[in-house]
Chains A and B, each alone.
Chain A
Amino acid sequence: MSTARTTAPPAKPAPAVKPAPAAKSLRSRRDNLHGWAFSAPFLAFFLMFLVWPMISGAVMSLTGKSLTGANSGFIGLANYSEAFADSDMWRSLGNTLYFTLISTVPLVVIALALAALVNMGLPAQWLWRLSFFSPFLLASTVVSLFFAWMYNPELGLFNDMLANLGIPPVAWLNDPAVAMWAVVIATVWWTIGFNFLLYLAALQNIPQQHYEAASLDGAGGWRQFFSISLPQLGPTTVMIVILQILASLKVFDQIYQMTEGGPGGATRSIVQYIFEAGFTGYRLGYSAAISYIFFGLILLIALAQVFITRKRSA
């Protein structure tokens, strides 16, 4: 529900015991059985909390189901056609894509820059690593509260700094033109550590000989960075970008806590709209339909990812 990812990077569902592709002997069948037994606990949770909700959500999106229990009959695709004509839905989706765009770029570029800096061999490397990563450990509520205070137009740190520089105050969270950027700044500060760590690990995996050979050939620092580090980081970058896009698309916490989607809906994300349609608007069926439209969008992006990574490895 946020751009914070709590699981390990490409969290493929736990690598369940795979039955060996052996001959159809008794032995292998028994192994098979063991395999299933071992994956059963996971499978049970997987079915209960992922597969079943997905099916029941899809069914719900075809009904007028309401929180109050009224008018819950089957209504076909009416929810979908209503959603496609709902300007608020498009606006929230637009906000989400806008957030994704303006958060993904800095979260990748700055993470790379930080990792490259730390990898240069600065003294007290552990301290840098810790400082860049530690905000990621905070809960979204903590981060939102910090930043809401710092963005306070009267008492906040940011406007105080601007005033010292002689710049007029900015209504960070109350100006529709600025609010999304304010959220992005908070998000970058909060979640950059994860991408930073991935980049740092990848940088440290590049064999030292490449750099030695390059410097023998007379390549300088920048040349080495662009001709060795960057290409070597290619797969990591693809992975980070994809993960970041998926995480940013799910943005909810910090926006809900900092602006509640305001001012005037300027920062309302699609996930918040789904929440509002279903829970404050009672219309569970309709909100399920919107969430499936959103699901379709994410599916497209995931397929694009598969396509890109296949092409790379081919």
Chain B
Amino acid sequence: MKQVDSRPMQMTRRQLLLGGGVLAGSLTLGASLTGCGGAAQAAGNDIRFWHLLSGGDGIKMMAMIDKVNADHPDYRVKPTVLAWGAPYYTKLAMASAGGRPPEVAVMHAARVPGYAPGGLLDAWDLDLLAEFGVRPEDFGPRIWEKSQFNGQVFSLALDSHPFVMLYNTEVADKAGVLGKDGRLAEISSPSQFLEVSRELQRVTGKHGLSYGYLGDGAQMWRLFYTLYRQHGADFVLEPGRPAQVERDVAIDCLEFITSLLDNTISTKSGDGGTAIAEFAGSGSGLLFTGVWELPTMKTAGVPFGASTIPTLFGTPAAFADSHSFVLPHQARLDETKRRGVYQFVASMLKGSLSWAEAGHIPAYQPVVKSKEYAALKPQADYAQAADIINYDPVAWFTGSGSDFQGYFAENVQNVFLGRDKAADGWDAFMKRINTVLAMPNPV
């Protein structure tokens, strides 16, 4: 500073400083640009809300949020939508572990065992919830049981979304399998199911059943687990011990599914999109799918009804998961904001009738018992599914969009395609699961 000479060095130093300044400036700018969703942006009365609902669900969710925001101007819920599956869950875990999570988020209830024990989530305070008019008895028993972990409530279910069966009423009528009440006549055995499917196939001339699974582990698992649980068989995963499953039952289920994929009843190699298009075009009489496809079918204008997957093996059971509200663990808890979160979630639960329009069964019983819901067709026809739902086996690596369903696909897809024996596919899957169970538990 004090020496003023004209050596070339001076210039260089100045350039260096200038360059350094530019560099530092651009770094700060870059950091602030990439820091969106970070603590820096959670100004004032904003409540950050992460969810994974896109498409029709996403539009419904946005409308519900807008309504809550309009009713409660004292805070503003700002949603961030992230891609469903691994990317979402990875980001949520990272944000919680890093101490900058959103104030509230949606998770699949079956994923909570991977988050709650590690301290990534805070438990819900039932007293505070009651203050906003939400009580334990407002939820069905299976859903309420699932919301707890180690005696604390970690997730509040907005819905349950089971794996169900849609049927084309016109095709079913022609095939003579429609009951007098306009609903599909009851099917109660595997052979009867094959029979009905073949009847339907004769009417459509294409397939009796649409079931897309190719490259989609979740879709394979949903049907398998529904049928497995219909046998009354347990599926227990306990870290440090091999999985406790009924191998014969599992192989039975895989063989039954494979017998459906005979290119007559159903195509051997259908993916999700093809199955939906086929059913929507009346190319089949039945569709195995999640309830969330309901709006698609309504838009397509195909005449259809919905029911749970028929009880073929004695015990009524349906695979399901729930979109649940969770409180990601806050490093510094803002009490007033948390009250806002409780109010927001309570309002969402109470307003979940519009969520039911997307096909999901609301978890909040006062809505399910309302007249408006009873008038909602065909949703009301499968509302009883909530009493027979089965979530994924509990473990840190299971749940919707988890590696578990990926392992299932890796080993079972070739069974469905008729390339591997059911027993081989199952044993390979179990080997993989047992390896994961033998690993040190990371949560």
Chain A residues within 8 Å of B, Cβ to Cβ: 38, 41, 64, 66-71, 75, 78, 82, 86-87, 174, 262-265, 276, 279-283, 286
Q: Is the CB of A66 within 8 A of B118?
A: yes
Is B302 interfacial (CB-CB < 8 Å)?
Answer: no
Chain B residues near A264 (CB-CB < 8 A): 409-411, 413-414
Chain A residues near B89 (CB-CB < 8 A): 280
Docked Cα-Cα span, A82 to B439, in Å, equals 8
Show 23 residue pairs from A and B whose CB-CB distance is below 8 angstroms, ordered by the A residue.
Answer: A64-B442, A66-B118, A67-B94, A67-B97, A67-B118, A68-B442, A68-B443, A69-B118, A70-B441, A78-B440, A87-B435, A262-B215, A263-B413, A264-B409, A264-B413, A264-B414, A265-B410, A279-B90, A279-B93, A280-B89, A280-B402, A283-B439, A286-B439
Docked Cα-Cα span, A87 to B411, in Å, equals 14
Give me the 8 closest cross-chain CB pairs, A-B, nearest first. A68-B118, A66-B442, A282-B442, A264-B410, A279-B90, A283-B442, A70-B118, A68-B443
Minimum C-beta distance from A131 to chain B (A):
34
Chain B residues near A280 (CB-CB < 8 A): 86, 89-90, 402-403
Chain B 106-126, CB-CB to A under 8 Å as 1, else 0, gives 000000001101111000000
Minimum C-beta distance from A61 to chain B (A):
14
> Contacts A263-B413, A265-B410 given: A276-B442 contact, CB under 8 Å?
no
Docked Cα-Cα span, A282 to B93, in Å, equals 9
User: Which chain B residue shows the least CB distance to A71?
Assistant: B440
A sample of 15 more A-B contacts (CB under 8 A), given A41-B23, A67-B118, is A38-B16, A67-B94, A68-B97, A70-B117, A70-B441, A71-B440, A71-B442, A174-B214, A174-B215, A263-B413, A276-B403, A279-B90, A281-B403, A283-B440, A283-B442
Docked Cα-Cα span, A276 to B410, in Å, equals 15
Docked Cα-Cα span, A281 to B114, in Å, equals 10
Chain A residues near B136 (CB-CB < 8 A): none
Docked Cα-Cα span, A118 to B117, in Å, equals 62
Docked Cα-Cα span, A276 to B402, in Å, equals 11
Docked Cα-Cα span, A115 to B16, in Å, equals 40
Chain B 64-100, CB-CB to A under 8 Å as 1, else 0, gives 0000000000000000000000100110011001000
User: Which chain A residue shows the least CB distance to B114?
Assistant: A282
Docked Cα-Cα span, A229 to B294, in Å, equals 67
User: Which chain A residue shows the least CB distance to B89?
Assistant: A280
Chain B residues near A38 (CB-CB < 8 A): 16
Docked Cα-Cα span, A38 to B89, in Å, equals 44
Chain B residues near A82 (CB-CB < 8 A): 439
Chain B residues near A281 (CB-CB < 8 A): 397, 403, 442
Minimum C-beta distance from B82 to chain A (A):
14
Q: Is the CB of B397 within 8 A of A66?
A: no
User: Which chain B residue shows the least CB distance to A85?
Assistant: B435
Minimum C-beta distance from B113 to chain A (A):
11
> Contacts A264-B413, A281-B442, A282-B442 given: A68-B20 contact, CB under 8 Å?
no
Docked Cα-Cα span, A174 to B402, in Å, equals 20
Q: Is the CB of B442 within 8 A of A279?
A: no
Q: Is the CB of B442 within 8 A of A67?
A: yes
Q: Is the CB of A71 within 8 A of B441?
A: yes
Minimum C-beta distance from B268 to chain A (A):
13
Minimum C-beta distance from B101 to chain A (A):
13
Docked Cα-Cα span, A265 to B429, in Å, equals 13
User: Which chain A residue shows the least CB distance to B432?
Assistant: A88
Chain A residues near B119 (CB-CB < 8 A): 68-70
Docked Cα-Cα span, A75 to B439, in Å, equals 13
Chain A residues near B402 (CB-CB < 8 A): 280
Chain A residues near B411 (CB-CB < 8 A): 264
Chain A residues near B413 (CB-CB < 8 A): 263-264
Minimum C-beta distance from B216 to chain A (A):
11
User: Which chain A residue shows the least CB distance to B440?
Assistant: A64
Docked Cα-Cα span, A216 to B147, in Å, equals 88
Looking at A75, A87, A264, A276, the one whose CB has the most chain B CB atoms below 10 A away is: A264
Chain A residues near B435 (CB-CB < 8 A): 86-87
Minimum C-beta distance from B54 to chain A (A):
18
Docked Cα-Cα span, A87 to B439, in Å, equals 13
Docked Cα-Cα span, A78 to B411, in Å, equals 28
Q: Is the CB of A70 within 8 A of B442?
A: yes
User: Which chain B residue shows the least CB distance to A87?
Assistant: B435
Docked Cα-Cα span, A66 to B119, in Å, equals 12
Docked Cα-Cα span, A252 to B313, in Å, equals 45
The listed residue (B16, B214, B443) touching A282 by CB distance below 8 A is: B443
> Contacts A174-B214, A263-B215, A282-B93 given: A68-B440 contact, CB under 8 Å?
no
Docked Cα-Cα span, A263 to B412, in Å, equals 12
Docked Cα-Cα span, A59 to B257, in Å, equals 48
Docked Cα-Cα span, A70 to B20, in Å, equals 41
User: Which chain A residue shows the least CB distance to B19?
Assistant: A41
Docked Cα-Cα span, A264 to B120, in Å, equals 30
Minimum C-beta distance from A260 to chain B (A):
9
Chain B residues near A64 (CB-CB < 8 A): 440, 442
The listed residue (B90, B115, B397) touching A68 by CB distance below 8 A is: B115
Chain B residues near A174 (CB-CB < 8 A): 214-215
Minimum C-beta distance from B240 to chain A (A):
12
User: Which chain B residue shows the least CB distance to A70?
Assistant: B118
Q: Is the CB of A67 within 8 A of B93?
A: yes
Chain B 371-405, CB-CB to A under 8 Å as 1, else 0, gives 00000000000000000000000001100001100
Interface residues of B in 201-238 (CB under 8 A from A): 214-215
